[in-house]
Amino acid sequence: MRGALMLLLALRRVHAFARPAVLMRRHTTLTAKPALVVWDMDDCLWHPEMFTLSEMPSEGVRGDLNGRGEGVVGVRSGSDVIRLFPDALRVLQEFWDGEHGSTKLAVASSADTPFAAAIAQAALDMLEIVPGVTLRDVLCRGHPDGTDNIWIGRTPPLSSDKSRTHFPLIREATGVAYDEMLFFDDSNWSDHCAIVSQNCPGVVAQRTPRGLQYSEWVSGLKKFAEAKNKS
Ligand SMILES: [Mg+2]
């Protein structure tokens, strides 16, 4: 009986000591944030894919920006409309609101043709995140003027392999190391997530096969924090 009591007391003591460590680990998990979030565009932040479009954007489609007022929620290209996925808009609004501290944004998109890339570049200047603030404004927020943080296309210096061209260029332009980057890509055609993780060691990647869902955003942040805790 006395032996069992002693054992119980000893276990409680061990548990009491173990607790702060657990709390500390949880705290680290919550606070490890990437310095840079790198986005694929087509089928990750927006749809449809640029190679399916045949006309330069003509006019904006106005509508409700997720309860933040009326703005440009779509961009017409012929009979198609380029739109952000609803959760992508939500996450980008969080960035504009400063909810993600010093984390900055970049784009690594391998749009198929120079024309597809030109459509994408035009849409960045038209789509709004909150009224009067364009998608490009949000993507460039926090970067010194002139930083080349947006790479769209696959003609030189780019290629269809983001790990060999887009990522080295983004690292050079921003000065952010690979192990400080979190990358989102639908990876439905080619597994850019796996290729980038392999060739750019340290980049944490999250797939978004149905366009960015909020749960994938959270899961990406969690994966990044876990990777940091291990290193
Ligand atoms: Mg894509």
Mean local confidence (pLDDT), 53-63:
96
| CA 9 to ligand 1 centroid distance, Å | 57
Least confident of 11-15, 70-74, 191-195: 11-15
* pLDDT tens, residue by residue, 91-135: 999 999 999 999 999 999 999 999 999 999 999 999 999 999 999
DSSP state of 209: T
DSSP secondary structure string for all residues of 65-112: -TTS-EEEEEEEETTEEEEE-HHHHHHHHHHHTTTTTT-EEEEEE--S
Assigned fold of 33-230: Rossmann fold (3.40.50)
* pLDDT tens, residue by residue, 186-230: 999 889 999 999 999 999 999 999 999 999 999 999 999 999 988
Higher pLDDT, 49 or 18: 49
Burial, 223: exposed, middle or buried (Cβ in 10 Å; 0-12, 13-18, 19+)?
Answer: middle
Print burial letters for 24-35: b (CB count within 10 Å at least 16), e (below 16). Answer: eeeeeeeebbbb
| CA 132 to ligand 1 centroid distance, Å | 26
pLDDT at 30: 55
| CA 164 to ligand 1 centroid distance, Å | 17
| CA 80 to ligand 1 centroid distance, Å | 18
| CA 41 to ligand 1 centroid distance, Å | 6
| CA 140 to ligand 1 centroid distance, Å | 20
At 147, the amino acid letter reads: T
Model confidence at 1: pLDDT above 60: no
| CA 192 to ligand 1 centroid distance, Å | 9
* pLDDT tens, residue by residue, 147-182: 999 999 999 999 999 999 999 999 999 999 999 999
Question: Cβ–Cβ contacts within 10 Å for residue 56, how many?
Answer: 12
Model confidence at 9: pLDDT above 80: no
CA-based nearest residue to 197, from 87, 88, 41, 38: 38
| CA 210 to ligand 1 centroid distance, Å | 10
The pair of three-digit structure tokens given for residue 201, joined into one six-digit string: 């060691």
* pLDDT tens, residue by residue, 138-147: 999 999 999 9
Model confidence at 136: pLDDT above 60: yes
- Domain locations along the chain: 1-31, 33-230
pLDDT at 84: 98
Q: What's the predicted TM-score (pTM) here? A: 0.86
| CA 160 to ligand 1 centroid distance, Å | 11
